[in-house]
Chain A
Amino acid sequence: MAHPIVTLRAYGDGLRLIIRPNLSITEIEEAIQQELARMNPPLSETSVQIDMRAPVLTDKELERLKTKLQKTYNLQTREVASPDETAAPVVVAAPATHTISQTLMLSHNESSEQSRIVPQTIRSGQTEDFPQGSLIIYGDVNQGAEVRAGGDVIVLGALRGSAHAGTNGRLSAVVIAMELVPLHLQIGNYINPPLLGQKSRGYPEIAHIGSKDIIVVERFVKF
């Protein structure tokens, strides 16, 4: 699976732009444009943190990117995290005037996406893979079974096996289950929330990537 060139993700009260290393500025700009074009409603007036875990751009190129983000998309670059300064990122731009909440992220950026309904329980040894979009399962996902979706994974039953949402690297993907007791849970390249245990808590739950770079599980009320 190809790692996306850029990844946009909710982070704290703004967005984080993660850039894959060793690419040219034109490739990155193109990827940013594609990623932002998918957003509905369009993002604007949001603060952005550029995350470069490996050296990617020269200072000049970075400056050009920041200007472009500001001018074209009305996005303000707040800070840049680079490998040397991950501990204390430098604050670059002004604070956000508008924040994107988790819930808004969930409901609006997959409108053009397909989904597939699986009308039965997925049993041990069976796999459901749907890279084009979200999976909805009318049944359980038992231990030893695996569900993988490019978008969200929604289980209208008990999720006891393995689930991987956002297989294409989309970190806004979520996993929802009436009983969320998975053996493994993966969203994008993030694996496993803090121990959930194998006992159901008796209400539906949602797993998503929280602001602190971990998978968060909470009671699911609505999108």
Chain B
Amino acid sequence: MGKVIVVTSGKGGVGKTTSTANLGTALALIGKTVAVVDADVGLRNLDVVMGLESRIIYTSMDVIEKQCELQKALVRDRRVEGLMLLAASQKNDKDDIQPEQMKSICQRLTVNYDFVLVDSPAGIERGFQNAAAGAEEAIIVTTPDVSAIRDADRIIGLLQNARVEPINLVLNRFSPDLVKSGNMLDKSDVLDILNIELLGIIPEDEAVIASTNRGIPLVHSTSSSAAQAYMRIARRLSGQQIPIPDLHAKNFFSGIMEWFSRKR
């Protein structure tokens, strides 16, 4: 039996979908079987980020309406073994699905997959409730912005009330340079406010934008720092003890080194 983990944030645009795609792929790369479920009915994105949009025939709505079997609705990612996507319907609306129906889908997926990652839509309304309905655990994605942190705090409260445990934090788009210049909240400030376990820190990385637009999750190429961070998180999720490295601001020397490596 696998476990259902909802990836959520409250605020939009902090990297839920990117994180779901990369963590799903990373878990599959280290040998786990993974089903990623897009719960953003009506505004689906996960298929695009994973580069699977052309292959979707059935969606979770068709499964609920018994138009097709659950196994048939899953789209296999050809780039890595053991990774499946269950897309959301683009024609419907979040109110067309009941939390109970989502829960049942997630539970059926745990029979065959080690990890069921549910990509939650932004907000705290029905979409979020659907996504969280079947979750045993949660990953909160936040950026080090006050607005994102406040929304994350709200979501943590809701998840705690729903007895989702543990709730772990992924701090996304972290920039040590901005922290050093005093323009970004530090890791400790964020953890002070949210008071949950830190699962990992994803550094701000331009490679994320490129990979999203190409439809190839970043973790397929291990060179970028964000990809390495996602791989470490995947290993932690699978139970390995991997320390969270401290990200340091660039100094003169590392700046020169980076400039050279970019030139090549």
Binding site for B on A (CB under 8 A): 120-126, 139-140, 142-145, 158, 160
Contacts and interface: CB of A to CB of B under 8 A. Distances in A.
A125 to B, nearest CB: 4
A123 B192 contact: no
Contact of A144 (B150, B192, B195): B150
Interface of B: 124, 146, 150-151, 153-154, 156-158, 160, 192-193, 195
Given A143-B150, A144-B150, A125 B157 contact: yes
Contacts of B157: 122-126
A192 B262 CA distance: 52
A124 B192 contact: no
B151 A124 contact: yes
A124 B195 contact: no
Contacts of B156: 123
Contact of A160 (B158, B160, B193): B193
Contacts of A142: 150, 153, 193
A143 B153 contact: yes
- State the main secondary structure of chain A at its contact with B: loop
Contact of A140 (B146, B158, B160, B193): B193
Contacts of A139: 195
Contacts of A160: 193
Contacts of A158: 192
Contacts of B146: 143
A142 B152 CA distance: 11
Contacts of A121: 195
* 8 nearest A-B pairs in the assembled complex, by CB-CB distance: A123-B157, A124-B154, A124-B153, A125-B154, A123-B153, A142-B153, A126-B157, A124-B150
Contacts of A122: 157
Nearest to A158: B192
A124 B146 CA distance: 12
Contacts of A125: 124, 153-154, 157-158
A144 B148 CA distance: 12
A124 B193 CA distance: 10
Given A120-B160, A126-B157, 18 more contacts: A121-B195, A122-B157, A123-B153, A123-B154, A123-B156, A124-B153, A125-B154, A125-B157, A125-B158, A142-B150, A142-B153, A143-B146, A143-B193, A144-B150, A144-B153, A144-B154, A158-B192, A160-B193
A201 to B, nearest CB: 15
Contacts of B160: 120, 123
Contacts of A120: 160
A107 B193 CA distance: 31
23 contacts: A120-B160, A122-B157, A123-B153, A123-B157, A123-B160, A124-B154, A124-B157, A125-B124, A125-B154, A125-B158, A139-B195, A140-B193, A140-B195, A142-B150, A142-B153, A143-B146, A143-B153, A143-B193, A144-B150, A144-B153, A144-B154, A145-B153, A158-B192
B140 to A, nearest CB: 12
B133 to A, nearest CB: 19
A125 B124 CA distance: 11
The residue in A125, A140, A144 that gathers the most chain B C-beta atoms within 10 A of its C-beta is A125
Contacts of B193: 140, 142-143, 160
Nearest to B195: A121
A123 B151 CA distance: 10
A124 B160 CA distance: 12
Contacts of A140: 193, 195
A144 to B, nearest CB: 5
Scoring A124, A126, A143, A144 by chain B CB atoms within 10 A of each residue's CB, the highest score goes to A124
A145 B124 CA distance: 16
Nearest to A179: B192
Contacts of B195: 121, 139-140
A145 B193 CA distance: 12
B164 to A, nearest CB: 14
